Amino acid sequence: MFKSYKKFVLKVLFIPLPFIFCYLVYMFIYDPLMLYHKPWFRAESFDKDSRLANQGIIKNYDFDSIIIGSSMLENSSPKKASLLLNERFINISSPGLYFNERAIFLNYAFLKNKNIKRVIYSLDLTMILDLATRDTKYFDFLYDDNYYNDILVYLQKRFLFCVLNINNDCSKNKDLDSRTFWINDVGHRFGGFDNWLKSSKHYKGTDFAFEKIRHSKFIIKNNYNEMQVKMEQMQNILKVYLFKIIEKNPHVDFDILIPSYSRLFYSIDNGDRGLYFNRIKSILRWVVLEASKYQNTKIYGFDDLDYADDIANYRDLTHYNIDMNEIQFMAIKNQTNILTKTNIDEYLENFENKIRKYNIDEFIKAIKKYFPEANNEN
């Protein structure tokens, strides 16, 4: 009885192994993430998950400069950046890319490429204020010193489906320049607030927080003790995951871009908005002062421009159109919009004045017109 049970267990355990081995050999050849080589016997394509795909791009493509950030830089064209700045860029941005994740990619890129000249980096103020980091276990082993364990990523179920052509994940993105773009998927949301309303299926719970806009008032709040604790935490995140990398690579130019959220974003009250803006001023002032210690680092700000006043430039409260990415490139090329120790106070004053003067009455009227039921709410 025991012997027959033992044989059954051994069969269950070992019969699948040849199939797993053959599958992994096949995946080494097919290699959708290009972990080991560029495509063999298939067209070039890029996985939709940039956190997984970045390893193969860093290893297999020729570049000397990097664009990295969140969705705020995903629409940045490496080709345009290369033409304007006379360098060879890749874009390894990903949606919601936290600072600890960026450090993994940058450290790996510097390890693999000793000739990197420039890094264009988005410093997302909303992200740093959230004091958040992300668990990186599902992809970080691709960026360590162990070359052989990378193949294990292909044991994820979706790659099996990909090979069997059950979905198109492995071949969705065929253009290196636009592989990170989200602009074409949400283009209908640009062009004005009416398009936001039309694209919303439900009034309650939309990502545009319509109900908050109706009750908005911009108020600056101060809480010194709370601010000090937050500041220390925010500074530590940036020191560990950004400025430490800058310090280690003095031969690389770092262009740090501050994403310009819509003026409406700062003008609505979410219960803590005034204090939120005060934190932004504090951390931005500190970033500029900290960056001044490094000759290879510049901070660029665009919130004193009129761009953020026009809601037609935004798909939602924070995400701007592709033309802002081009404005950012031109600022780097022409060395404009640079924040320094001498101009940061004036910049922040102009920034705040623009928020205070911003009139949201037209948005409130539009919401009440589009959602008549909102007129009956208290």
- Pair 225, 366 in one domain: yes
CA atoms within 13 A on the CB side of 169: 20
CB count in 10 Å sphere of residue 38: 11
Instruction: Look at residues 297, 288, 294 and name the one whose alpha carbon lies nearest to residue 253.
Output: 297
331 within 8 A of 337, measured Cβ to Cβ: yes
Which of 8, 65, 78, 79 is CA-nearest to residue 249? 65
Residue among 183, 219, 207 nearest 317 (CA) = 207
Paired tokens of 121: 């980096």
Residue 137 lies in a domain: yes
Burial of 276 (0-12, 13-18, 19+ CB in 10 A): middle
Six token digits for residue 244: 């430490």
pLDDT above 60: residue 26: yes
In total, how many domains does the chain have?
A: 2
The one-letter amino acid code at 251 reads: H
- Does residue 114 sit within a domain? yes
**Whether residue 191 is found in the same domain as residue 146:** no
131: left (phi over 0), alpha (psi -120 to 50) or beta: left
Answer whether residue 230 is part of any domain.
Answer: yes
* pLDDT tens figures, 253-309: 999 999 999 999 888 854 454 567 888 888 999 999 999 999 999 999 999 999 999
Three-class secondary structure of residue 218 per DSSP: coil
- The pair phi, psi for residue 103, each rounded to 5°, is -60, -40
Shared-domain flag, residues 157 and 286: no
Q: Residue 75 falls within a domain, yes or no?
A: yes
Residue 312 lies in a domain: yes
> Running DSSP on this structure, what letter comes out for residue 240?
I
Q: Looking at the structure, tell me whether residues 154 and 198 fall in a common domain.
A: no
Specify whether 247 is located in the same domain as 310. Answer: yes
Residues of the domain holding 57: 18-185
Task: From 185, 206, 228, give the residue that closes a domain.
Answer: 185
Q: Are residues 81 and 200 in the same domain?
A: no
pLDDT at 14: 53
Comparing CA positions, the residue from 227, 258, 274, 236 lying closest to residue 347 is: 258
| Phi and psi torsions of 329, nearest 5° | -60, -45
The dihedral sign for the CA sequence 169, 80, 70, 263: negative
Looking at the structure, do residues 161 and 278 belong to the same domain, yes or no?
Answer: no
239 and 146 assigned to the same domain: no
Give the C-alpha separation, 179 to 175, whole Å: 6
Q: Torsion angle, CA of 330/336/338/340, rounded to 10 degrees?
A: 170
Does 199 lie in the same domain as 172? no
Side chain identity at residue 189, one-letter code: R
In a domain, 340, yes or no: no
Q: Is 345:296 a contact under the CB 8 Å cutoff?
A: no
Looking at the structure, tell me whether residues 140 and 284 fall in a common domain. no
Distance CA 57, CA 149 (A): 18
Last residue of a domain, one of 185, 214, 235: 185
Q: What confidence category does residue 218 fall into, taking pLDDT thresholds of 50, 70 and 90?
A: low
141 domain-assigned: yes
Question: Is the same domain home to 141 and 218?
Answer: no
Q: In one letter, which amino acid is 186?
A: V
Q: What percent of the chain has pLDDT over 90?
A: 51
- Inside any domain, residue 297: yes
Domain boundary among 185, 213, 230: 185
Q: What are the pLDDT digits (tens) for 325-341?
A: 999 999 999 999 999 99
| pLDDT tens per residue, range 44-95 | 889 889 999 999 999 999 999 999 999 999 999 999 999 999 999 999 999 9
Same structural domain, 208 and 165: no
